[in-house]
Amino acid sequence: MCPVPKLVDHEARRRDVAHAVWRVVRREGLDGASVRAVAVEAGLSTGSMRHYFDGQADLQRTAMEELTARVGARLAGLDPSGRPPEVARRIVAELLPLDDERQAEAEAWFAFVARARTDEAFRELANRSYEGLRALVRQIVALAQGVDLEMTPDAEPPEVDEVEVERLFALLDGLVLHAVQRPGLVPAETLLAVVDRHLKGLIDGG
């Protein structure tokens, strides 16, 4: 009856393998993310991965959850100080694939979202992210129109024009989609120019 020796950090291992899933998904699509392919990418054997994942569903779901957690952590780490319109611009810029790392995340993310349409296992997480992003965009619209979120309670969503929320939300998703669809052909300056133009109209109009 020995005290349990912990040889490897399971959580860290699961995270590493999740990153391997992202790379495979980006390169070959979610269909190509077979257990064998991910094992090769992660430098493991298929049998070895079974000690950390219950199966392919657990593997892919974990990779998707890790992705949302990563994006969420980056958003939570943003500097909330400054005039409201400047904060709004900062958050928007964080949502765009302005560098390679976020481009890779966006490409993998859309693969998961695409599958969520026909696979229940991914749907709930996709819907939660969708609602979370919509709430964030609602705050961005409020910020752009000069509302200071520090003054309003977190529980209550700010009162804003829902048409403008959907307009900005769709614009952002469309920009990311275009960057994903044509990697390297949508420069960062274009993305920023478009959102700056949009935010300008939002500020002037509100």
Integer CA distances (angstroms), 206 to 83, 148, 156, 163, 200, in order: 16, 14, 20, 13, 10
User: Is residue 185 a contact point for DNA (CB under 7 A)?
Assistant: no
Stretch that binds a copy of itself, among 67-75, 76-84, 123-131, 151-159 (CB under 8 A): 123-131
- Angle (deg, nearest 10), helices 84-95 and 120-144: 150
Q: Which long-range contacts (CB under 8 A, 24 or more apart) does 116-124 make?
A: 121/57, 121/60, 121/61, 122/60, 122/61, 122/64
**3-state helix vs strand vs coil in the chain, percent to 5:** 75, 0, 25
CB of 76 to a copy of itself, least distance (A): 24
Pick from 27, 46, 83, 193 the residue near DNA by CB under 7 A. 46
Residues of span 64-93 touching a copy of itself by CB under 8 A: none
Count of positions (residues) in the chain: 206
124 binds, among DNA, a copy of itself, none (CB under 5 to 8 A by kind): none
CA distance linking residue 1 with residue 143, whole number of Å: 60
Is residue 109 within 8 Å of 22, Cβ to Cβ?
no
φ/ψ (deg, to 5) at 186: -115, 95
User: Is residue 127 a contact point for a copy of itself (CB under 8 A)?
Assistant: yes
Pick from 15, 19, 23, 44 the residue near DNA by CB under 7 A. 44
Contacts with a copy of itself: how many residues (CB under 8 A)? Answer: 42
50 binds, among a copy of itself, DNA, none (CB under 5 to 8 A by kind): DNA
User: Is residue 126 a contact point for a copy of itself (CB under 8 A)?
Assistant: yes
Site of interaction with a copy of itself (CB under 8 A)? 27-29, 31-32, 107, 110-111, 113-119, 126-127, 130, 163-164, 166-167, 169-175, 177-178, 180-183, 190, 193-194, 197-198, 201, 205
